[in-house]
């Protein structure tokens, strides 16, 4: 079987079914469920097989288009969901990461017209693969932190904050690496480390919000414990929303028409 976007729906169905089995089994078990881990792992590996096959078929890393970044995000959400479940034993986390991963996979199934773009010269760099994959992994970790933030706001439980801390610390670290590799790549490709491109600006805003969260966690501003907890959870939600703006929302801004980061560009 040829592995390309024409066969992606097969991999999507298999991956989602595996993830669903894993999420149901984890929700039914009061302990770490090994079958849940196995099914979730199989679903994530299914996407990994597709990514490897697509890479071989296209003769380039599948990181160019918006659809390809959604593919990586779905894969890394599966990875991050498993890490979170195995580390903190939250029975519900796999259900949420399954929904997020499935949504992005389904979007790629129904919008196949965005996958056949060539690799522009500026993307033919050694920094291309590490920059994008590091960003996608950081997005997945911060996506799990967003889920924690939403549950924390809904249930008003400060106990979730320790989990959010580790996810944010890891996600922000990878986000920082992504920004640094992007700056080096920009210098190589366009002659400037930073040009205040709309995507760069929103990346800085996103990074700053997560730094604010870290600052608030390390320094008590003197507010009541309940109010401080809600502010922290709200910061996680705000950070994830700006992350979405940074990822694809900027593509719809008038100011982004001349951006070098638009995914629908085919020339440098």
Does residue 127 share a domain with residue 29? no
Tens of each residue's pLDDT in the chain, 268 residues:
899 999 999 999 999 999 999 999 999 999 999 999 999 999 999 999 999 999 999 999 999 888 999 999 999 999 999 999 999 999 999 999 999 999 999 999 998 766 666 777 777 788 889 999 999 999 999 999 999 999 999 987 888 999 999 999 999 999 999 999 999 988 888 888 988 888 899 999 999 999 999 999 988 666 678 888 999 999 999 999 999 999 988 888 887 777 767 645 443 3
- Domain boundary residue, one of 101, 119, 137: 119
- Domain boundary residue, one of 119, 135, 155: 119
Does residue 3 share a domain with residue 16? yes
The answer for residues whose C-beta is within 8 angstroms of residue 172's C-beta and 6 or more apart is: 138, 142, 207, 210, 211, 214
The answer to the question of residue 136 being in a domain is yes
The answer to the question of residue 229 being in a domain is yes
The answer to the question of residue 266 being in a domain is no
Q: What residues make up the domain containing 19?
A: 1-119
- Domain boundary residue, one of 100, 119, 138: 119
The answer to the question of residue 267 being in a domain is no
Does residue 71 share a domain with residue 157? no
Does residue 136 share a domain with residue 106? no
- Helix 66-88 / helix 34-58 crossing angle, nearest 10 deg: 160
The answer to the question of residue 96 being in a domain is yes
The answer to the question of residue 230 being in a domain is yes
The answer to the question of residue 168 being in a domain is yes
Does residue 52 share a domain with residue 32? yes
Count of the separate structural domains present in the chain: 2
Question: Which stretches within the chain are classed as H helix?
Answer: 8-28, 34-58, 66-88, 93-110, 128-155, 161-190, 198-218, 225-247
The answer to the question of residue 201 being in a domain is yes
């Amino acid at each position: 079987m040829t592995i390309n976007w024409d066969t992606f729906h097969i991999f999507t169905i298999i991956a989602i079914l595996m993830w669903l089995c894993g999420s149901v089994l984890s929700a039914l078990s009061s302990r770490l469920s090994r079958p849940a881990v196995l099914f979730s792992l199989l679903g994530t590996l299914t996407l990994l097989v597709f990514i490897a096959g697509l890479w071989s078929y296209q003769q380039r890393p599948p990181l160019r288009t918006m659809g390809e970044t959604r593919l990586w995000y779905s894969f890394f959400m599966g990875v991050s969901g498993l890490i979170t479940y195995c580390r903190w034993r939250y029975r519900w986390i796999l259900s949420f990461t399954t929904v997020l991963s499935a949504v992005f996979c389904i979007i790629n199934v129904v919008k196949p017209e965005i996958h056949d773009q060539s690799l522009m010269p500026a993307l033919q760099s050694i920094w291309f693969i590490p920059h994008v994959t590091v960003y996608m992994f950081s997005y997945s970790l911060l996506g799990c932190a967003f889920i924690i933030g939403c549950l924390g706001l809904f249930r008003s439980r400060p106990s979730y904050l320790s989990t959010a801390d580790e996810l944010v610390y890891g996600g922000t670290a990878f986000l920082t690496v992504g920004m640094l590799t992007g700056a080096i790549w920009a210098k190589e490709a366009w002659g400037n480390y930073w040009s205040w491109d709309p995507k760069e600006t929103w990346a800085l805003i996103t990074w700053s919000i997560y730094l604010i969260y870290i600052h608030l966690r390390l320094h008590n501003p003197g507010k009541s414990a309940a109010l401080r907890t809600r502010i922290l959870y709200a910061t996680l939600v705000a950070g994830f929303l700006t992350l979405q703006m940074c990822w694809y929302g900027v593509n719809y801004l008038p100011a982004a028409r001349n951006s070098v980061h638009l995914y629908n560009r085919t020339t440098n």
